[in-house]
Each structure stands twice: as C-alpha cells, then as structure tokens.
Chain A
Amino acid sequence: MAKARKSRGESMLVRYLVLGGWAAVCLLPILWFLSIGFRPRTEVITPQPIYWPTFSLDAWHLLMSDWPIAQYLRNSVIAVAGSVVIDLVLAIPAAYALARYEFKGREDIGFYILSTRMMAPAIVAVPIFFLFKTLGLLDSVWALMLIYAAINLSLVTWIIRSYMLDIPKELEDAARTDGAGDLTILREIIVPACLPGIITAAVIAAIFAINEFLFTLLIASTSNAYTMSVALANFTGGSDGIIYNAIALVSFIAFVPILILVILIQKHLSRGLTMGAVKG
C-alpha cells in the first residue's frame, strides 16, 4: 500500500515536471515577445538582452503615425471574411452531396477536393501570380479573398461533410415525408443541425487565411492589399532594420481575437484540424 502510494507520488512529480516544463516552453517566448512590444526600440537589440525593460508605448505610437495599421487590419478582415463566406457557399452544398448522395465518382471527387489541401502554395505561386496579373488583380484584396477561399475550400468541405455524416438519416427521411424537397432539407434541416461544424470550419479557415503568407507576399505590394501577416514582414524601417517592437505589438493584436475564437470552438478543434478524420 505504502509502496503504491509512493510510486503514485513520484509519477505525479514527473507528470507536473513535464506538463509545467512544456507550458514554460510555450509561454516564456510569448511573454518575452509581449515585453518587446512594450519597450522602447533602443532596448530591443542590445549587446546584452534586457529582460526587465522600461515600459513604453513607442511601438504603438510608431504604428499609429508611420504605418497605416488600420488599413492592414481592414484588408485582413475583408479578405478573410470574404473568403470564409465564399468557402461556406461553395462547401455546404458540396459537402452535402459527398455526405448524403450515392453517385458515381463520389470517392474520387471527395479525394480530389481533399488533395488540393496537399498542394504546396509554392507550386501554384508562379501561375497564380500570372493569372492575377492578367486579370489586373495584383495588389488587390479581392485577389487575396479568392486565394484564401481556394486554399481553405477543401478543409471547409471536409469538416462540414464530417458533421453532416453524423446527422441521423431519419431526419431527412422525416422531412421528405413531411413534403420537403432536397434544397429545403439542406437549408432547414441539415444546415441548422450541423451548425457547430460549420462554425468550426469557418473559424479554422479564418485562422489559416489570416496566417497565409506566400501568396499575400506575391500579390500584395502596397498598403492597398497588405494584410497583417505580410505587413509584419515589411516593418523594416530601411536603415533602422527590423522594427521588432511594432511587429510584436501587431502580432498580439492579431493573436487575441484568434485565441478567443479558438477557445469558443475548443471542443471541435481536433476534429476540425484533421478535417473530420478524428472525432474529439
């Protein structure tokens, strides 16, 4: 008995060492980076790192005066929100077809949609660049919207499909005998019943869209289309080098809403991230 208790105590110690250790690995860089955001520029790059900096809103003032941060934010929001709307409009009917109908080629079409997620952005970067150049869409938020929608369409389709598969078939049978047609069933029964899945898909798509870097880098060349993600990389004040405190501050401004969204869908996160393959 005593021995059992002792080994239990030891394993608790090991457990909290591991869990606490990794928590520190996660948090310390974040806290340190947060401190970068609120220190004067002179204390960012120094011969000896400064761990207890002077508090300063330098970065904030710099952002407000020198950089059109509101414009970047607006570009991000328009491009991301628009792309999510496009994705949902396209993905919901597609997911319904994949989840509920028997038809020739269903497996192959489903897999094709999935496989577009596997494509490296770099592979299509050159052609997409030329495509948007031809269309006169370079340096435009609309181009970013279309690209983000394309990147996330497979993910959104598969997540929603997975949730639709969970809806009992009886529900549709009932609606059919009640006199509803296919589209009515989709709109009135299926979509409300898989709303958690749709929200999860939308949140995850939004996060990936906010994070997108390569295409945005190629398509956006001025503050017309710069989003938060790429604007960061341009906080280099010429001879001043990289303006880290502004970067840190902006990344936290983007981090907070994402954190809130993710906490809201926490229960569904693992299922969303695996495109429905893992039920959390």
Chain B
Amino acid sequence: MRTDAPSVSANGVATATPKPAPRRRSPALRKAFPYLLLAPALVYLLVITLYPGIFAIYQSLFVVKFLNWEWAGLGNYSSILQDREFWAALGNTALIGAISLSLQTGIALAIAYFAYRDPFIRGWRIVYLMPMLFMPSAVAFIWKLAFNDGRVISDLLGRLGLIEGNMDWLGSIPLARMTLIVADVWQWTPFLFIIFVAALQGQDQEIEEAARLDGASWPSIFWNISLPMMRPVIVVAITLRGIDITTMFTNVFVMTQGTPGGATETMSYFIYRQGFRMFNFGYASAASVLMLVLTVIIAQTVVKRAFHSGKK
C-alpha cells in the first residue's frame, strides 16, 4: 500500500460527494413502473390483435357486398358450418400439417442424431440451414417449377425407372397434397434441426460419457438418455412449427391455388379466397372468428404447457 495513503481519507473528507438529500420516491410510481414499461408494446399489440378480433366478429354478422353491409345475424356462421369447402379446408390443413410435421420431426431428429457429434457440424449446419433462408414465396416457385412447369421431378423419377412419362402432379389429390408437403418439409426441417442439434450439443457431456463407460451404444444413449432429456425442447419446437404449419398460405397460393377441386385448400387460403377473390368479407370474417377460437384454444392448452415445460 502506498505511503501517502493516509492523506486519502483526509483528502476524502474535503472532496466528499455532496450528500444528496434523501428523496422519498412515490410508492405508487414504483408499483406502476413495470406496467408503464409494458404499456407501449401492449397497446400496439392490442390495436393489432384486439381491434381486428372485434372488427371480425362485428363484420361476421353482416353480408358485405362492397360498401353495402346487410345485417345477417349468425347467418354467416350457420352457412359456414354447412359449407363443405370450409370443413374440407379444415381437414386439409390438419392432414397436410400432421404429415408434414411428422416428416420434419423425424428427419430433423435423424440428421441431428448423426450430426451433433460430427467434427464437421458447423459446415453441416450451414448447409442444412439454407432452405430456410429462402423467401417462402421463392421456395414455392422452386417446387412449382420442379414439379409442374419444369417437369424436373418427373424426369428424374423417369430416369430412375420409377415412373413413365410426365406425372400430372396437380391432377391427383394425394399427389397435389404431396407437392405442398415436400415444399414445406424441404424448407422447414432446418428449423427443427437447428433446435434439436443445439439441445443435443447443450446436454451434459458427463452423462453421455458415464453411459458410454456403462457400455451403452450411441443409438441406445440417444434413445434412452438424450431423447428423454430433450423432450421439453422437442415439445416447444414442434409446437412452434405446428402452429406455423396451420397457417400455411404461400405455398398454396403459388403452387396449387387449392386445386384439384379444393383438395389442397388450407384454412388460410379459404379465408383469403372468400375475402379477396370472392369479396364475401362477412363470410371470410366469420371463418376468421372460428379459426381464432381454435387458435385461442390451442394456445391456452398446448402452447402454454409447452413453454412452461420448456422453461424448466
């Protein structure tokens, strides 16, 4: 310690900080403070969600023909619930979504299992990421060209001797749905892969090492140890992806427009078509309200639980 140190304290008294008068801050303000911090974001979100919600409910009670709003009561709802196209759209969304989500989960888990302890993981990750980084509209065009307009898939399958001539991918219900699924799986498997790999890399290495010393093989370590440990992560990832799949619109808009015969029409496309192609705004709003109710139910049950377990 320095020899001139004692002068510090003497000096210290002389230059001591001017003592601020102790201020009593308002306890009410202290209590309100977090709400004030949240207010701008909340107001913004309320305007952009609550207002449309109320507007949609209101508009759904009318038959809207351009500027002419005609009171219809629950008429839109009763006709929607009898509308085969509406139920078809709901069914298509569920079916295409379920198949696509299962495929993505399976593929992502499989490649994550092989990739996470590979020395070239950084390279694999960038390659696998790429499809996700194209604009969804561009991806839709890639596959539209590959399947339909450019006939590339047909040609390649033909060269492998699997099919003959050109397939009419939009001519059959399962094939048309399959093109949507292929495009979705190609673009969004990376989303799940990135998350699964991070979860696998983030797990405690010691547990893995202990299991290996106990004589466990890699597949059994993955199946019995890694997978159960990353369950909350899988649940969160699948939930997020699942929700996005149910809103599928771009691929339908670009690739199939709902053909053949509405077999690839999703809920989002149904609402779009009713509203902006047929200008049945009241009807579209009623469909929106029904979809909103579904969303709220799903959010309150699945999502809330998923994010709770994810946090732990």
Contact = CB atoms under 8 A, between A and B. Distances in A.
A11 interface: yes
Nearest to A122: B268
A208 to B, nearest CB: 10
A123 B37 contact: no
B141 A242 contact: yes
A150 B38 contact: no
A121 B275 CA distance: 13
A150 B247 contact: no
Contacts of A230: 137
Interface string B20-61: 000000000001011101101110110011011101100100
Interface string A109-133: 1011111111111111111111100
A27 B197 contact: no
Contact of B311 (A48, A106, A277): A277
A244 B33 contact: no
Q: Is the interface of B mostly helix, strand, loop or mixed?
A: helix
Interface residues of B, number: 96
Interface in A218-261: 218, 228-230, 232-233, 241-242, 244, 247-248, 250-251, 254-255, 258-259
A120 B267 contact: yes
A114 B307 contact: yes
Contact of A125 (B44, B124, B271): B271
Interface in B153-188: 155, 186
Contact of B134 (A131, A251, A269): A251
Contacts of A109: 38, 42
Interface string A23-43: 101110110110010000000
Interface stretch (A61-69, A86-94, A166-174): A86-94
A85 interface: no
A127 B56 contact: yes
A44 interface: yes
A70 interface: no
Contacts of B216: none
Given A45-B150, A280-B198, A150 B135 contact: no
Contacts of B190: 26
B72 interface: no
Contact of A278 (B37, B111, B199): B199
Contact of B152 (A26, A49, A210): A49
A251 B138 contact: yes
B109 to A, nearest CB: 11
Contacts of B225: none
A112 B237 CA distance: 19
Contact of B195 (A23, A150, A278): A278
Contact of A263 (B45, B48, B126, B137): B126
Contact of A120 (B145, B247, B304): B247
B194 interface: yes
Contacts of B87: none
A123 B271 contact: yes
B291 A122 contact: yes
A254 B134 CA distance: 8
A251 B247 contact: no
B5 interface: no
A31 B39 CA distance: 47
A142 interface: no
B310 interface: yes
Contact of A22 (B107, B149, B191): B107
Given A23-B127, A93-B38, A214-B268, A274 B236 contact: yes
Given A49-B151, A120-B295, A125-B288, A90 B44 contact: yes
B86 interface: no
Contacts of B71: none
23 contacts: A15-B118, A18-B111, A22-B111, A23-B124, A29-B131, A48-B155, A93-B40, A118-B298, A118-B303, A119-B292, A123-B295, A124-B53, A125-B272, A125-B288, A126-B56, A129-B276, A146-B48, A153-B44, A232-B138, A255-B133, A259-B133, A277-B307, A278-B233
Given A126-B271, A150-B44, 9 more contacts: A49-B152, A112-B45, A118-B299, A122-B268, A126-B275, A127-B55, A213-B137, A269-B198, A278-B199
Which 3 A-B residue pairings sit nearest by Cβ, starting from the closest? A251-B138, A270-B198, A127-B52
